[in-house]
Chains A and B, each alone.
Chain A
Amino acid sequence: MSSSPTQVHDGTRSQSAGDPLLVVKDLKVHFPTSDGVVKAVDGLSYTVERGKTLGIVGESGSGKSVSSSAIMGLFHGSSAQLSGQILLDGTDVLTLSEKEMRALRGRDVAMIFQDPLSALHPYYTVGAQIIEAYRVHQDVKKSVARRRAIELLDRVGIPQPDRRVDDYPHQFSGGMRQRAMIAMGLVNDPSMLIADEPTTALDVTVQAQILDLLQDLQREFNSAVIIITHDLGVVAEMTDDTLVMYGGRAVEYGKTSEILTHPEMPYTWGLLSSVPEVTGDTSAKLIPIPGNPPSLLNPPSGCHFHPRCAHRDKVPGDLCVTTTPELVPGGRDPHHLKRCHLADPEDIYLQEVLPEIAPDLVDEIAAPEQTGAPGVHGTTGTTEQGGRA
Chain B
Amino acid sequence: MFAYTIRRVITGILLLVVMSVVTFYLFYASSTTPERYACGPKCTAAQLETTKKSLGYDEPTYVQWGKFAKGVAVGRTFPDDPELRKAAPQLVQECPAPCLGFSTGYSAPVRSLIQDKLPVSFSLAIAAFVLWMVGGVALGITAALFKGRLLDRAIVGLSLVAFAFPTFFIGLLLLKFVSIRWGLIKLPAYTPLTENPWLWATGMILPAITLAVVYMAGYIRITRAFVLETMSEDYIRTARAKGLNQRTVIGKHTLRAVLTPLVTLSGLDLAGLLGGAIITEQVFNFNGVGKLSVTAIQRFDLPLIVGIVLLVATIVIVANIIVDLLYAVIDPRVRLG
A interface residues (Cβ-Cβ under 8 A, vs B)? 72, 74, 77, 98, 102-107, 110-111, 113-115, 118-125, 129, 132-133, 136-137, 168, 170, 181, 184
Contacts and interface: CB of A to CB of B under 8 A. Distances in A.
Contact of A121 (B241, B243, B253): B253
A102 B243 CA distance: 5
Contacts of B241: 72, 74, 105-106, 110-111, 113
A124 B257 CA distance: 10
Contacts of A123: 256-257, 260, 330-332
A46 B245 CA distance: 29
B246 A168 contact: no
Contacts of A74: 237, 240-241
Contacts of A119: 234-235, 237-238
A72 B240 CA distance: 9
Interface string B240-273: 1111111000000100110010000000000000
A105 B237 contact: no
Given A121-B257, A170-B333, A107 B234 contact: no
16 contacts: A72-B241, A74-B241, A102-B243, A105-B240, A106-B243, A110-B241, A113-B241, A118-B234, A119-B234, A122-B257, A122-B331, A132-B242, A133-B243, A136-B242, A136-B244, A184-B238
Given A104-B243, A122-B331, 14 more contacts: A98-B246, A103-B243, A105-B241, A106-B243, A107-B243, A110-B241, A114-B234, A119-B237, A119-B238, A121-B239, A122-B332, A123-B256, A125-B332, A136-B243
Nearest to A121: B235
Interface string B316-337: 0000000000000011110000
Contact of A122 (B235, B239, B244, B246): B235
Contact of A113 (B238, B243, B260, B332): B238
B233 interface: yes
A77 B249 CA distance: 13
Contacts of B333: 122, 168, 170
A129 B244 CA distance: 11
B256 A133 contact: no
Interface string B143-157: 000000000000000
A113 B237 contact: yes
A269 B192 CA distance: 80
Given A121-B253, A123-B256, A77 B246 contact: yes
A168 B238 contact: no
A103 B240 CA distance: 11
B332 A170 contact: yes
A122 B233 CA distance: 11
A22 B246 CA distance: 26
A74 B244 CA distance: 11
A168 B332 CA distance: 7
Interface SS, B side: helix
A111 B238 CA distance: 8
B238 A120 contact: yes
A62 to B, nearest CB: 19
Nearest to B233: A118
A228 to B, nearest CB: 14
A123 B331 CA distance: 6
Contacts, number: 71
Interface residues of B, number: 21
A110 B243 CA distance: 9
Contacts of B245: 102
Interface string B268-310: 0000000000000000000000000000000000000000000
B258 to A, nearest CB: 11
A103 B243 CA distance: 6
A107 B332 CA distance: 29
Contacts of B330: 123
A118 B243 contact: no
B109 to A, nearest CB: 47
Contacts of A120: 235, 238
Given A121-B253, A123-B331, A168-B333, A106 B235 contact: no
Nearest to A181: B238
A374 B240 CA distance: 45
B237 to A, nearest CB: 7
A136 B249 CA distance: 12
A104 B244 CA distance: 11
A121 B256 contact: yes
Interface centre among A105, A119, A123, A137 (most CB of B within 10 A): A123
A102 to B, nearest CB: 5
B234 A133 contact: no
A108 to B, nearest CB: 9
B16 to A, nearest CB: 34
Contacts of B235: 118-122
B32 to A, nearest CB: 51
A121 B238 contact: yes
A98 B240 CA distance: 11
B337 to A, nearest CB: 16
A104 B246 CA distance: 15
A376 B42 CA distance: 109
B336 to A, nearest CB: 15
Given A102-B245, A121-B257, A124-B256, A115 B240 contact: no
Nearest to B236: A121
Given A113-B238, A119-B238, A132 B331 contact: no
B243 A137 contact: yes
Contacts of A170: 332-333
Given A106-B242, A133-B242, A136-B244, A113 B331 contact: no
A121 B245 CA distance: 16
Interface string B193-237: 000000000000000000000000000000000000000011101
A188 B260 CA distance: 32
Contact of B242 (A77, A105, A118, A122): A105
Nearest to A124: B256
A50 B257 CA distance: 38
A101 B219 CA distance: 34
Contacts of A168: 332-333
Contacts of B239: 121
A272 B238 CA distance: 32
A98 B247 CA distance: 13
Contacts of A181: 238
Nearest to B332: A168
